[in-house]
Amino acid sequence: MSLHTPTRRGILRSLGALGCSAAAWPLTTAVTFAAAPTDARLVVIVLRGGMDGLDVLRPVGDPAFAALRPTLATGEALPLGNGFFALHPALAPLLPLWQAGELGFAHAVATPYRDKRSHFDGQDVLEAGTVPGAPGEAFRDGWLNRMIRAVPGMRGESAYAIGRENMKILAGAVEVSSWAPEIRFRLTPQAELLLERLYRDHPLFMSAQSRAVRLMAELETEGGFGAPEEEVMGMGGGGRPRPRGDAALAAFAAGRLNGEARIAAFSLSGWDTHRNQATALPGALARLAEVIETLRQGLGGNWGRTAVLAMTEFGRTVRENGTRGTDHGTGGLMLMAGGALRGGQVHGRWPGLDEASLYDRRDLLPTRDVRAYAAWALRGLFGLERAVLEDDVFPLLDMGDDPKIVL
In one-letter notation, the amino acid at residue 81 is G
Q: What is the pLDDT of residue 176?
A: 59
- What count of other Cβ atoms lies within 10 Å of the Cβ of residue 257? 24
Q: How many domains does the chain have?
A: 1
Mean pLDDT of the chain: 82
C-beta of residue 310 within 8 angstroms of C-beta of residue 70: no
For the whole model, what pTM was predicted? 0.80
> Kind and range of the H or E element at 139?
none
Q: Does residue 270 surpass a pLDDT of 70?
A: yes
Nearest-angstrom CA–CA distance, 25 and 18: 12
Residue 243 lies in a domain: yes
Q: What is the pLDDT of residue 312?
A: 98
Residue 138 lies in a domain: yes
Residue 370 lies in a domain: no
Q: What is the DSSP letter of 317?
A: B
Residue 215 lies in a domain: no
Task: State how beta strands 261-268 and 86-87 pair.
Answer: unpaired
Residue 263 lies in a domain: yes
Sign of the alpha-carbon dihedral angle for 212, 299, 259, 263: positive
Give the 3-state secondary structure of residue 302.
helix
Nearest-angstrom CA–CA distance, 224 and 121: 38
C-beta of residue 250 within 8 angstroms of C-beta of residue 30: no
Residue 20 lies in a domain: yes
Domain range enclosing 129 = 11-98+112-184+225-300+318-327
Nearest-angstrom CA–CA distance, 74 and 69: 8
- Burial code (b: 16+ CB inside 10 Å, e: under 16) for 304-323 equals ebbbbbbbbbbbbbbbbeee
Report the pLDDT averaged over residues 144-158. Answer: 79
Q: What is the pLDDT of residue 15?
A: 41
Residue 246 lies in a domain: yes
Q: What is the DSSP letter of 366?
A: P
pLDDT 10s digits, 341-356: 999 999 999 999 999 9
Q: Does residue 334 surpass a pLDDT of 70?
A: yes
For residues 302, 307, 308, 312, the Cα torsion angle rounded to the nearest 10 degrees is -170
> Kind and range of the H or E element at 86?
strand 86-87
**How many Cα neighbours within 13 Å face the side chain of 97?**
30
Q: What is the pLDDT of residue 399?
A: 98
Q: What is the pLDDT of residue 329?
A: 98
Residue 383 lies in a domain: no
Nearest-angstrom CA–CA distance, 249 and 262: 16
At 17, is the pLDDT very low, low, confident or very high (cuts 50, 70, 90)? very low
